Amino acid sequence: MSGVANAIPTVLLVLGVGVELIAVLGVCVMRDVFDRLHYVGLAGFGALLVGVSILWAESFSLIGDKALLTGVLMVIMGPVLVHATARSLRTRARGDWADGIEEHREDGA
């Protein structure tokens, strides 16, 4: 039981670092910037897994609590960041972020 309890933080750590490596790979190999932006949100989940790993190893200590807080912050702020960045890039490309949406709706209807 103790061996399993000791292995869980290592598994969470490997998963967290692996998710972040996948995010880096996605940012590097994707062609379009909107494709790359998908991986910004994914990296936050890697930070959360690392935070949970530290929390499991340290229990609810000062480091464990703040590691969990940091991971939760990254997960919450990731989609906000992706949305704001995508909106800015659309505005940069078209002049207005809502430009073309009505035509797209009419085409789809």
Partner 1 sequence: MNRWEIAALVVIAAAVPCLAVCVLADISAALAAVEVSATLAVTALMLLSQGFHRQPFVDLAVVLALVSTVGSLTFARMMERDL
Question: Closest CB to partner 1 among 14 and 102?
Answer: 14
Please report whether residue 52 would count as binding partner 1 according to CB under 8 A.
no
The 3 state secondary structure assigned to the chain is CHHHHHHHHHHHHHHHHHHHHHHHHHHHHCCCHHHHHHHHHHHHHHHHHHHHHHHHHHCCCHHHHHHHHHHHHHHHHHHHHHHHHHHHHHHHHHCCCCCCHHHHHHHHC
From candidates 5, 8, 33, 98, binder to partner 1 by CB under 8 A: 33
Question: Closest CB to partner 1 among 21 and 98?
Answer: 21
Residue 98 phi, psi dihedral angles, 5° rounding: -85, 0
Question: Closest CB to partner 1 among 5 and 87?
Answer: 87
Please report whether residue 80 would count as binding partner 1 according to CB under 8 A.
yes
Residues that bind partner 1 (CB under 8 A): 10, 13, 16-17, 20-21, 23-25, 27-28, 33, 36-37, 39-40, 43-44, 46-47, 50-51, 54, 57-58, 62-63, 66-67, 69-71, 73-74, 77-78, 80-81, 84-85, 87-89, 91-92
